[in-house]
């Protein structure tokens, strides 16, 4: 079993001009959370709950060091996507973004984008991306 260090992870998101930007370069945490809606199908007389699986869903949370570099920094890219309310492509490589590594990809909306300025700390950003449609698992080409 291969072990992968998080420092090698990569995350790319399309900007409003449909150019993929390496937002992962600014992140200190990337989390992709998948779920399946579960419909309660329990009927009277049962002693335990029963469920039926429904629709898949996913969200991605990004956090890291805030940077307002023109065209490529997380502030300009993510804030513009939140305002635009457009679905854009993403590519996530937990083991890195080089040819042959696992890639999760799909489309998402920027649901939430926040900036925090702690008195005695580094300015950081936090974003929630809501995946629309299915997440594909493949490899970077």
**For the structural domain made of 25-35+50-139, what CATH number should be given?**
2.30.110.20
CA distance 29 to 62: 6
Map residue 131 onto helix, strand or coil.
strand
pLDDT of residue 20: 96
The first and second tokens of residue 98, run together, are 């080089």
pLDDT of residue 133: 97
DSSP H or E run through 110: strand 102-116
End-to-end CA, the chain: 23
Give the Å distances, CA to CA, from 117 to 50, 123, 129: 46, 5, 21
The tens place of each residue's pLDDT in the chain, 141 residues long, gives 578 899 999 999 999 999 999 999 999 999 999 999 999 999 999 999 999 999 999 999 999 999 988 888 999 999 999 999 999 999 999 999 999 999 999 999 999 999 999 999 999 999 999 999 999 999 999
The CB density around residue 63, as the number of other CB atoms within 10 Å, is 18
Give the Å distances, CA to CA, from 26 to 72, 82, 136, 141: 10, 18, 24, 23
Map residue 6 onto helix, strand or coil.
helix
Q: Give the start-to-end residue ranges of the domains of the chain.
A: 25-35+50-139
pLDDT of residue 1: 59
Non-local (6+) Cβ contacts of 123 within 8 A are 65, 66, 115, 116, 117
């Amino acid at each position: 079993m291969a072990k992968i260090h998080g420092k090698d992870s990569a995350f790319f998101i399309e900007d409003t001009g449909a150019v993929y930007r390496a937002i992962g370069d600014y992140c200190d945490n990337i989390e992709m959370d998948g779920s399946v809606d579960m419909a309660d199908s329990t009927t009277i007389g049962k002693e335990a709950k029963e469920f039926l699986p429904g629709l898949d869903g996913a969200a991605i949370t990004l956090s890291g060091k805030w940077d307002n570099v023109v065209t490529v920094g997380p502030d300009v890219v993510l804030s513009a996507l939140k305002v635009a309310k457009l679905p854009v492509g993403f590519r996530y490589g937990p083991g890195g973004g080089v040819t042959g590594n696992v890639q999760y990809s799909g489309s998402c909306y920027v649901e939430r984008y926040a900036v925090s300025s702690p008195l005695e700390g580094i300015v950081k950003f936090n974003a929630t991306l809501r995946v629309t449609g299915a997440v594909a698992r493949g490899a970077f080409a």
